[in-house]
Amino acid sequence: MKTYVALLDGGKREVTVGVTRLATGQYEVRVGDEVHRVDAYAHDYGTLSLLVDTRSYSAMLDDRGAKVHVQVDGSVFPLELLDERKLRMRRASPRASVEGRRAVTAPMPGRVVKVLVAPGDAVRAGQPLVVVEAMKMENEMRSPKDGKVVEVRVVEGQAVEGSALLCAVE
């Protein structure tokens, strides 16, 4: 049995999941204390058809980011899946701090239409910093905290990719 630890709710909850392969596509999966018989069929386009104790589900996995987003029947669950080795590494490293420098990134590809701050400006949590236009809508990127703008990476009119660094607040 291979054992994983899933971190849920941003790491607040941990659930242990054990997987044992029985035959092609056939598994016994232990989630917490409960054991399920699972038949998994992977489609080319990234969807996993699951029969969990005969109940049928379609799960879609997006693991492009650090977190895995699993979507089942319209519900999305962001989680982190660690095996024993990764779990040990995670526990050995200090927890990421919410203090200090925080990056403000573009949540989607678009175009910068306004830069409202300059390095050195004092800002409050929730204050708009940069306005990015995508699909004919203007979206305000706001400060994640009270602090000072330490870096501005973009200028008005610039095209940005999704997750591009716009500015940083410390």
Binding residues (CB under 8 A) for other proteins: these are 2, 4, 6, 8, 15, 17-19, 21, 24-25, 27, 29, 31, 34, 36, 38, 40, 42, 45-48, 50, 52, 57-61, 63, 68, 70, 72-77, 79, 81, 83, 107-111, 134-137, 139, 162
Shortest distance, position 148 Cβ to other proteins, whole Å: 26
Is 98 or 137 the residue whose CB approaches other proteins more closely?
137
Smaller CB separation from other proteins, 14 or 146:
14
Residue/partner pairs of 11-18 with CB below 8 Å, 24 or more apart: 11/80, 17/81
In terms of CB distance, is 18 or 121 closer to other proteins? 18
Question: One-letter amino acid identity for 28?
Answer: E
| Closest residue by Cα to residue 165 from 155, 154, 149 | 154
The torsion defined by the Cα of 58, 64, 68 and 71, in degrees rounded to 10, comes to -30
Termini Cα distance of the chain: 45
> How near is the Cβ of 115 to other proteins at its closest, in Å?
18
What is the three-state SS of 103-135?
A: EEECCCCEEEEEECCCCCCEECCCCEEEEEEEC
Q: In 3-state terms, what secondary structure has residue 11?
A: helix
Q: How far is the CB of 167 from other proteins (least distance, A)?
A: 18
> Least distance to other proteins from the beta carbon of 106, Å?
10
User: Between 76 and 125, whose beta carbon lies closer to other proteins?
Assistant: 76
Distance of alpha carbon 127 from alpha carbon 104, whole angstroms: 12
Measured from the CB atom, the residue of 19 and 150 that comes closer to other proteins is: 19
